[in-house]
């Protein structure tokens, strides 16, 4: 049986929404996700040994069903590594998502 992890989204920040296409019903956006999930004992030891090269045993993956195209970029922290273990014992990662998304626009009630 696979272990189950509870992922906490600590922050979702929208950098921009642009290029809204009402005919194609698409828009471009960039947003960031700050995530926490429990660090294993091995994660904690590996982080203590080398914070710059640390990578957790398991890293969440993303799916965006409404995306036509999407790019994920893990953002480097102060150490230059996108991952860290917090003092509370959680893995932390910040990811920037950019892409083109599809959305059914409801324009009937527009002025």
How many domains are contained in the chain? 1
> pLDDT at position 111, please?
57
Contact 97, 31 (CB under 8 A): yes
Q: Indicate which CATH number applies to the domain containing 87.
A: 2.70.170.10
Kindly state the average pLDDT of the residues 85-107: 90
What is the pLDDT at residue 108? Answer: 64
Which pLDDT belongs to residue 45? 97
The reply to whether 3 falls in a domain is no
In a domain, 78, yes or no: yes
In a domain, 74, yes or no: yes
Binned at pLDDT 50, 70 and 90, residue 3 comes out as low
Residue 89 lies in a domain: yes
Q: What is the pLDDT of residue 34?
A: 94
Instruction: Report the chain's mean pLDDT, rounded to a whole number.
Output: 89
Q: 22 pLDDT band (50/70/90 cuts)?
A: confident
Residue 25 located in a structural domain: yes
Angle at 35 between CA 18 and CA 30, to 5 degrees: 10
What tens digit of pLDDT does each residue of 27-45 get?
999 999 999 999 999 999 9
Tell me how far the alpha carbon of residue 24 is from its chain's centroid: 26
pTM: 0.81
């Amino acid at each position: 049986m696979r272990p189950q992890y509870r992922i906490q989204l600590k922050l979702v920040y929208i950098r921009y929404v642009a290029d809204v296409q009402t005919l194609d019903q698409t828009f471009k956006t960039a947003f960031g996700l700050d995530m926490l999930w429990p660090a294993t004992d091995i994660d904690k030891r590996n982080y203590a040994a080398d914070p710059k090269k640390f990578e957790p045993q398991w890293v969440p993956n993303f799916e965006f069903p409404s995306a036509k195209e999407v790019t994920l970029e893990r953002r480097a922290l102060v150490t230059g590594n996108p991952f860290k273990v917090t003092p509370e014992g959680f893995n932390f990662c910040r990811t920037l998502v950019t892409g083109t998304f599809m959305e059914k626009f409801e324009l009937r009630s527009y002025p």
